[in-house]
Amino acid sequence: NLGLIRSAPAGKEIVAGVLDGRNTKLEDEAELCRLLEDLVGSVGADRLWAGPSCGLEYLPREKAQAKLRHLVSAAKKVGA
């Protein structure tokens, strides 16, 4: 919830679960970019940590790695 994230006290770092760790469906990289841009605009890149919503241990290794590659690529594009 972006509203809750915006209301986080100054100085607190935010960990945003932007990858669905319970589903093998690969997130759209453009959508990840939009989400990360919103988050960076709300709290700043210096306070933001992006990752999966939970552990990826139950996903097939190839799917988990693909999800993480998309996240890294989106974060680099956004400067997060």
pLDDT level of residue 16 (50, 70, 90 thresholds)? very high
Q: Where are the beta strands (DSSP E) in 1-80?
A: 14-19, 48-52
Q: Give the whole-angstrom CA distance, residue 3 versus residue 38.
A: 11
Asked whether 80 and 40 are in contact (CB, 8 A), the reply is yes
Provide mean pLDDT across the span 24-48: 93
If one counts every other C-beta atom within 10 angstroms of the C-beta of residue 52, the result is 18
pTM confidence score: 0.85
